[in-house]
Amino acid sequence: MFSPVESRRLYRQVADQIRSMISVGELVVGQKLPAERELAEQLSVSRPTVREALIVLEVEGLVNIRMGSGIYVVRRHAVSMAASESEPVEGPFELLQARAIIECAIAEEAAGRARPEDIAVLDEALMRMSGGVNDAGTVLAADRAFHTGIAAIVGNATLIRVTGEMFDMRMTPYFEKLASHFEGPTTWRSAVDEHRAIRDAIASGDAAGAKAAMRAHLTLSQKRFSESFGEEFSGEEERGRDKAAARGANKT
């Protein structure tokens, strides 16, 4: 059932092996895994290694470790493959496109149900953002607050979480490195203007306008990004945008 493993980051190999067994259905949901000691023996590794692999799977939400009882399969698909080596996360352009599609739907939805206090939240974020265009930290925090603030208008925790997560993905080292080359007071001021247009559309209950403004904002972000990106790598073909980006993020 379990076969021995080989070199290189053993606990990850063990985790991969068990994960794939869950994935293909060899281990079904609800099933109890062998004890750690037994797994260690069958895999020809030590118990600490098995423990580390199981902790990986637990963090991924695939198994549930119950003290004194055992280890149980609780889910078949990983919720997040972010840290896995299998796929090097998405590129910045891809991310901005996804945000354009998702967040303009959220803005459209929010426009119909914004209350004065919701608008106040947006205004507060706008103020912080316009007042801090010279400090990347404050402006980023305010930017995030604005986008999640829109999701909050709909009153749905999942939307807020997803919006925040997508925003946070720009916090990868690679993305930040690129961003540092093109983000500055001028681009931030443009962003503030676009935010204000979104805010106004939502405040006036203009669903179509909010949608359009949000799409414009994220499309322009993408444009700003690609323009600087093109300057940086002026010789490069703009076509294979995400490929180039992914290649850079890979294998550091």
Partner DNA sequence: GCTGGTCAATTGGCCTGACCACTTGACCCA
Partner DNA sequence: TGGGTCAAGTGGTCAGGCCAATTGACCAGC
Q: Scan residues 145-174 and list those touching a copy of itself (CB under 8 A).
A: 154, 156-159, 161-162, 164-166, 168-169, 171-173
Residue 208 in the binding site for a copy of itself (CB under 8 A): no
Q: Which does 49 bind (CB under 5 to 8 A by kind): DNA, a copy of itself, none?
A: DNA
Among 80, 134, 186, 250, binds a copy of itself (CB under 8 A): 80
Beta strand pairing status for 63-66 and 70-73?
antiparallel
Residues lying near DNA in the complex (CB under 7 A): 7-11, 33, 35-38, 44-49, 51-52, 65-71
Per-residue binding string, a copy of itself, 119-148, x by CB under 8 A, is ------------------x------x----
Q: Which does 70 bind (CB under 5 to 8 A by kind): DNA, a copy of itself, none?
A: DNA
DSSP states along 219-246: HHHHHHHHHHHHHHTTTS-STTHHHHHH
Among 52, 124, 200, 206, binds a copy of itself (CB under 8 A): 52
Please state the closest distance from residue 88 (CB atom) to DNA, in A: 18
Q: Scan residues 213-242 and list those touching a copy of itself (CB under 8 A).
A: 241
Phi, psi at residue 115, to the nearest 5°?
-100, 165
Stretch of 34-42, 44-52, 120-128, 188-196 lying at the interface with a copy of itself (CB under 8 A): 44-52
Q: Which of 222, 226, 221 is nearest to 244 (CA)?
A: 226
Q: Which does 45 bind (CB under 5 to 8 A by kind): DNA, a copy of itself, none?
A: DNA
Please state the closest distance from residue 33 (CB atom) to a copy of itself, in A: 16
Select 48 or 193, whichever has its Cβ closest to a copy of itself.
48
Cβ–Cβ under 8 Å, residues 157 and 90: no
Residues contacting 121, CB < 8 A, separation 6+ = 145, 149, 152
Q: Which does 94 bind (CB under 5 to 8 A by kind): a copy of itself, DNA, none?
A: a copy of itself
Residues near a copy of itself (CB under 8 A) are 7, 9, 11, 25, 28-30, 48, 51-52, 55-56, 58-61, 64, 67, 74-83, 87, 90, 94-95, 97-99, 101-102, 104-106, 109, 112, 137, 144, 154, 156-159, 161-162, 164-166, 168-169, 171-173, 176, 241
